[in-house]
Amino acid sequence: MYARVTIIQFQPGKIDEANHIVKDSVIPVMKDQQAAYQVRNDK
């Protein structure tokens, strides 16, 4: 079994911009990958 963990760091003043980038670009790609059972957005 393998696991992939992605941790994203960003500047405190750019939280909204980073959130949009993650939701619009990163999460869709992760969901399309094989065995992507769960994508969490802890907000």
Is it the case that residue 30 has pLDDT exceeding 70? yes
**Alpha carbon distance 42, 7 (integer Å):** 12
What is the total count of domains within the chain?
1
User: Is 11 inside any structural domain?
Assistant: yes
Is it the case that residue 11 has pLDDT exceeding 70? yes
Short-list 4, 1, 3, 2, CA closest to 26:
4
Domain range for 14 is 1-33
Average pLDDT along the chain: 77
User: Is 43 inside any structural domain?
Assistant: no
User: Is 17 inside any structural domain?
Assistant: yes
Q: Is 19 exposed, middle or buried (0-12, 13-18, 19+ CB in 10 A)?
A: middle
User: Is 42 inside any structural domain?
Assistant: no
User: Is 5 inside any structural domain?
Assistant: yes
Entry pTM:
0.53
User: Is 40 inside any structural domain?
Assistant: no
User: Is 8 inside any structural domain?
Assistant: yes
Is it the case that residue 39 has pLDDT exceeding 70? no
User: Is 29 inside any structural domain?
Assistant: yes
